[in-house]
A and B are shown apart, each in its own frame.
Chain A
Amino acid sequence: MSSKSLSLKNISKRFGNVNALDNFNLEVGVGELVALLGPSGCGKTTALRVVAGLEHQDAGTVLVADKNISDVPAHKRNMGMVFQAYSLFPNLTVEENVAFGLQMRKVSKHLRLKKAHELLDLVGLDSQSKRFTHQLSGGQQQRVALARALAFEPEILLLDEPLSALDAQVRVNLREEIRRLQISLGTTTLFVTHDQEEAMAISDRVGVMNNGVLEQIDTPDALYNKPASSFVASFVGTMNRIPAHISNGMVEIFGSKVVALKRGNESGKVHALIRPESISVVATTTQGNAKVLTRSFMGASSNIICQTADGTIVQSLMTSASTGDLLPGSSVQLRILSSEVLVANV
């Protein structure tokens, strides 16, 4: 495999009055899978298209293995790409689709068909090689698109929300398959998605974007547990925002004092940012500090939505076994399980 590192330096791109990318920087190491995650219109797809050469940046440089490719046309960049929409050529069979990139590189018919069958075998579709693309399911079509993108041994693999048009079960299977292939082939991969579960599940690192800016790039674990900004904290996973007071670096929540990780004011009113799994709900016969609104059973865990006396809605995630007596309307005592919390300005 001829995988190489990718580097975007100070990339800016505007569409009319919209700043799609604003001084955007990104480094992807050899063989690494990095996901760009963010809400619609945050600039993640633009960043990917700039790398592919399908958009040209207004400023900044794109480097592959330290070589500036900013002005190299898309067809000479040697990057495999899988699109959100089904992008197979309907006039070609499955094997001809996979061999297309090799045909453009003037590889002999024998060799390119051999390679196409190798790739189709990897994605489990070798038996479908003579079929036309309209005879395949959506998941199969995206598998063929993946095989086509990998067949010519690209330096970088670009995935533009390749799973978003698929059914839930197919998405999970295919994302695992993408990761398996990416690891076994060692292909440097940039993966754009708006689905955080998808990004967290298969990426080495995840970059969270907002308004054309990379807010934070880190491992999924660090992103979840140590978000660098209020936006990242709210966007990645579920986060309770509970009104609280801060003084001397301590925040009082549900009657307990915990250490505040500084992200907001030093004193006064703040919002404490707490994950649902860091809040426990215990039924009480006396006057508790909240009431249960709903309890959603999700198998091993249950989601409990409570309301405190001041009207704040609090979400808790607990093992289902311990939530049997948490009926809607019952009085409960909320407790914080972590010893430190992030805070954000009100």
Chain B
Amino acid sequence: MAKALRIKFQPPLAITLLILGFFVFLPMLSAFEYSIRTPLTGGYGWTHYIWAVTEEDFLHYILRSMWLAGVTVLITLFVLVPTMTWLHLSNSKVRGLIDGLSLLPLVIPVVAFAVGAQISFPEFVQNTVLELPFLYFVLALPYAYRSLDIGLNSIPLKTITEAARSAGANWLRTITSVIIPVIRGSVMATIALTFALSLGEYTLTVLLHWDTFPTWVTYVAQDNILGAIAISMMSLIIPFLILTVITLFVPERTIQGRK
């Protein structure tokens, strides 16, 4: 940690961060500035934020989107971690194929994907909102896959897996007690990417006629655009805070090790 804080000033790094800040934070700051305007009285205030949190559907939709995102994260970890561990350990030829397949959600139009994927589900899944996490999982696959892939490539996976097994750990314990903690950074990135993508997903949700937080924001925006921007700001800040809290509370032990 101490080392990380002693990074020297490097002009290329500073310029990159400046450009990144310009493209990422300037639009966010502008949106924030816009959302705290009070056109009727002039100046700034929290009017729209107060309006948003007192809207009776606000809590309902934000909670719904969050638990759907949570289920998506669980599906992603449950499916991807064991599968990718197996792919890395077996050196199977299908790994290249699956690498390519994992990119398909980026090129398949959401309309085609939504309809095609939905009809492949059993009817009892189609009829509930629980179909969304499975579809969000597919949409997040290109990012989640690559994030875990980097983590698994960076460790001596075969040796530590065999060491764990010979010390008495079954496959489940090997994955939960050894592999996931060792690639914690990648797992956290996967959780963050999947959670954020699921929370903000709009197109597919609308196509399948479900209502979640993003669709509700669009609906609200028709009557109160400033209120909708305030809600959007909160939808950015709330997951950010949640992920920050998760990161802080998970013991900080990565492959480099920490005191």
Contact = CB atoms under 8 A, between A and B. Distances in A.
A83 B254 contact: no
A91 B255 contact: yes
A1 B17 CA distance: 60
Given A54-B162, A83-B159, A104 B257 contact: no
Nearest to A99: B167
Given A83-B159, A91-B184, A74 B257 contact: no
Contacts of A86: 156, 159
B257 A135 contact: yes
Contacts of B163: 81, 83, 87-89, 145, 148
A255 interface: no
Contacts of B162: 52, 54, 74, 81, 83, 87
Contact of A91 (B165, B168, B169, B257): B257
B256 A89 contact: no
A24 interface: no
Interface string A91-126: 110000000110111000000000000000000000
Interface in B83-107: none
B3 interface: no
Contacts of B255: 90-91
B167 A148 contact: yes
B181 A91 contact: yes
A78 interface: yes
A152 B165 contact: no
B258 interface: yes
Given A89-B178, A91-B254, A74 B173 contact: no
Interface residues of A, number: 35
Contacts of A77: 166
Contacts of A83: 159, 162-163
Nearest to A90: B255
Contact of B169 (A75, A85, A90, A135): A75
Nearest to B170: A75
Contacts of A158: 166
B164 A54 contact: no
A75 B168 contact: yes
A31 B170 CA distance: 27
A132 interface: yes
B60 interface: no
Interface in B206-259: 253-259
Contacts of B173: 104
B130 interface: no
Nearest to A148: B167
Nearest to A158: B166
B252 to A, nearest CB: 10
Interface in A146-187: 148-149, 152, 158
A134 interface: yes
Contacts of A89: 160, 163-164, 178, 181-182
A174 to B, nearest CB: 18
8 contacts: A54-B162, A75-B168, A75-B170, A81-B162, A81-B167, A83-B159, A89-B160, A91-B257
Most buried by B among A78, A80, A83: A83
A305 interface: no
Interface string B135-177: 0000000000000000000011001101111111110010001
Given A52-B166, A75-B165, A87 B156 contact: yes
Nearest to A106: B168
A79 interface: yes
A129 interface: no
B152 to A, nearest CB: 14
A54 B257 contact: no
Nearest to A96: B253
A286 to B, nearest CB: 62
Contacts of A78: 168
Interface in A44-101: 52-54, 73-81, 83, 85-92, 100-101
A91 B182 contact: yes
Given A54-B166, A91-B181, A104-B167, A85 B159 contact: yes
B165 A90 contact: no
Most buried by B among A53, A87, A132: A87
Contacts of A88: 163
B168 A132 contact: no
Interface string B103-123: 000000000000000000000
A134 B81 CA distance: 25
Contacts of B170: 73, 75
Contacts of B156: 85-87
Contacts of A3: none
A105 B168 contact: yes
Contact of B256 (A87, A134, A152): A134
Contacts of B165: 53-54, 73-75
Given A87-B156, A89-B182, A152 B257 contact: no
